Amino acid sequence: MTSPAASQHVLVIGAGFAGLSAATSLAQRGYRVTILEKNDGPGGRARVFQAQGFTFDMGPSWYWMPEVFEQYFARFGRKVSDYYELVRLDPSYQVIFGANDAVDIPAKMAELRQLFEHYEPGSAARLDEFLRQAAYKYEVGINKFVHMPGRSLLEFADPRLLVDALRLDVLQSMHKHVRRFFKNPKLLQLVEFPILFLGATSENTPALYSLMNYADLALGTWYPKGGMHQIVRGMVQLAQEQGVTLEYGQEVQQITVENGRATGVQTAAGFRPADVVIAGADYHHAEQHLLPPQHRHYDEAYWNSRTMAPSSLLFYLGISKRLPKLRHHNLFFDEDFEQHAHEIYEQPQWPSKPLFYVSAPSQTDPTVAPEGCENLFLLMPVAPDLDDPEETRERYYHQMMDRLERHVGENIRDFVVYKRSYAHRDFVADYHSYKGNAYGLANTLRQTAILKPTLKSKKVSNLYFTGQLTVPGPGVPPSLISGQVVAKEVEKENRIKK
């Protein structure tokens, strides 16, 4: 017998993590689902490209929270290992604090405790307590709260959830919280560095997000062999196994609305009818540019008042020699950590003395670079909504390379055989990214849960939004969850109408 859902056609705009997740979840429930993607391949910010024998992941490079991916594939009776092979990195990453001052962050907890004790006697025991509290936040946050659609305060009406919420430290700042446990400046940088990518200073970020430290220090840093895009390939294969149709080079130009309902979308190839539309593209673009004004829930003033997570200046480099002093992940904290954060969030400008990050996946995976070569990905967090001239990119390229060469103790620039930069204007061109942001909305207290842009339009009854600008927030695991949350809401609304 045909499922009632089979008569419903869902159009998903965008083949990023959230779009793929939403589409596959609904296809499993019996819906006919088509994904329309403007670019020539899937993945959104996690696209991939090849040049001169090098394979470059374009965006996410950290694989944290492995059980989120396991749980996702398990929903369809699959395992991660059906699609890609994971390896745990040890060391997890390297932190460069200054000249001849670098430390490997070990994967083993016993060694990590010794490292903390080395920097601050007595801190190993405090690390245990810090991670115990972070584990609780992780368990409640990832397994309960991030799966809430954030549409009403009534979602939190269960007294047990209220107790959980009080224990999550949402009203205490990350800055104050971590200083209850550690005093050493290097340890503080180590536990606060994930905040740099969440979109606010540690003073303005809820201590709830110490759950990221549990993901980092306890659950570990992993790598899918072949690169991060292997996750996307696996998700695409799973989507197709569930019956999802993917169409590339199909940019949506307009969401057509009649009598308060989206009847479909307009592309260059013509009108595409739909019973449900899910926008996995940039939320601001989808609402402010694809919808007629009378059907928009938010206005430009609202969006302009939002605190955005950072943009990034990226360089993809192919190097014609190996660099043995690098690890897979390398964090350059050899300048003032708090000053850089201030220049991103409090007084937006190009940073005077930037922090940056270098990924060298060829240290782990020889398939991503020709033999004897190194694949480098340089990332410098920067404020969104900045002018992005070529000369500015070049100036920071040389600043980063000066420090990278000083760390490895050898010339690199003369061995660069491939180079490509990527920043604000590229994020806008490729993803319609609001203000050229790379990570979505900042995870501040005023932009958490129900205070994020709603996942369901309040003016168009069958229009939904998913991805990093709505619940639960930025990052690959949250985007994966976002798609599942939206799919559940679509199914719930459909049952109510029946």
Low pLDDT (below 70) residues in the chain: 1-4, 154, 156-166, 197-199, 497-498
Q: Are strands 463-465 and 276-279 parallel, antiparallel or unpaired?
A: parallel
* Domain annotation covers residue 372: yes
CB distance 411 to 405 below 8 Å = yes
b or e along 117-154 (b: 16 or more beta carbons within 10 Å of the residue's beta carbon)? eeebeebbebbeebbebbbbbbebbbeebbebbbeeee
Q: What is the pLDDT of residue 337?
A: 85
Q: What's the token pair of residue 50?
A: 């090849």
* b/e 69-101 (16+ beta carbons within 10 angstroms → b): bebbbeebebebeebbebeebebbbbbbbeeee
The count of domains in the chain is 3
Helix 185-192 vs helix 109-119: crossing angle, to nearest 10: 140
Residue 93 falls within a domain, yes or no? no
Which of 218, 241, 276 delimits the end of a domain? Answer: 218
Tell whether 324 and 274 lie within a shared domain: no
Edge-to-edge strand order for the sheet containing 245-248? 245-248, 32-37, 9-13, 276-279, 463-465
Alpha-carbon gap, residue 356 to 343, rounded angstroms:
14
Query: Which pLDDT score, from 0 to 100, does residue 444 have?
Result: 87
Burial (0-12, 13-18, 19+ Cβ within 10 Å), 52: exposed
**Residues 251-273: b if buried by 16+ CB within 10 A, e if exposed:** ebeebbbeeeebbbbebeeeebe
Same domain, yes or no, for 425 and 454?
no
Please choose, from the candidates 494, 466, 481, the residue with its C-alpha nearest in 3D space to the C-alpha of residue 65.
481
Question: How confident is the model at residue 197, as a pLDDT?
Answer: 66
Q: Is residue 436 part of a domain?
A: no
Does one domain contain both 212 and 235? no
pLDDT at position 340 is: 86
**Is 365 in the same domain as 267?**
no
CA distance 49 to 176: 42
Which pLDDT does position 497 carry in this prediction? 66
Element (H, E) at 48: strand 48-51
CB burial of residue 392 (10 Å; 0-12, 13-18, 19+): middle
Q: Cβ atoms within 10 A of the Cβ of 480, count?
A: 22
User: Based on the domain organization, do 270 and 284 belong to the same domain?
Assistant: yes
pLDDT confidence of residue 156: 65
Query: Residues 371, 385: one domain?
Result: yes
For 472, phi then psi, to 5°, come to -85, -15
Q: What is the pLDDT of residue 12?
A: 98
Q: Which whole-number Å values give the CA distances from 68 to 29, 65, 79, 273, 440, in the listed order?
A: 20, 6, 12, 33, 20
282 and 358 inside one domain: no
- Report strand pairing: 222-224 vs 101-105: unpaired
Residue 179's domain comprises 110-218
In this structure, are 81 and 137 located in the same domain?
Answer: no
Q: Is 402 found in the same domain as 322?
A: yes
Query: In this structure, are strands 276-279 and 9-13 parallel, antiparallel, or unpaired?
Result: parallel
Please report whether residue 367 resides in a domain: yes
Instruction: Please report, for the domain that includes residue 488, its CATH number.
Output: 3.50.50.60
Check whether residue 418 and residue 329 sit in a common domain: yes
* pLDDT on residue 81: 98
